[in-house]
Amino acid sequence: MDSNQSTQQEIYQLVKENNRMLHKMRRNAFIAGIIKILLYLGLFVVLPYWLYVTYFAPIIDSTLQTMQQIQGTSAEAKLQVENLQNAIKQFDLTQYLGR
């Protein structure tokens, strides 16, 4: 009987140790999952937002300002061409050439 009881005691100790290991593994897997979620969140949400605010937003703003200046200059040039055409129509050179 004594060997049977020592075997049962040994099995009980092994079961307790196995249970502790399983709990540790489960806790570590849970913590690793949370860390993985936080890393992915940081990588795919926070990092692009930070890059946009820090680097891309000023570049995009300056590009938009340049495009608006170009459009304004283009509109001014178009207006000047129209004024030149109106001035040419006013002089109507055909009157002076006799045609």
At 88 the pLDDT is 80
For the whole model, what pTM was predicted? 0.57
- pLDDT tens digits, residue range 29-60? 999 999 999 999 999 999 999 999 999 999 99
pLDDT, one tens digit per residue, over 2-25 is 888 999 999 999 999 999 999 999
Query: Phi and psi dihedrals of 97, rounded to 5?
Result: -90, -10
Q: What is the mean pLDDT of the segment spanning 89-98?
A: 67
Nearest to 51 by CA among 62, 63, 42: 42
Q: How far apart are CA 45 and CA 47, in angstroms?
A: 6
- The rounded distance, in Å, linking the Cα atoms of 88 and 99 is 17
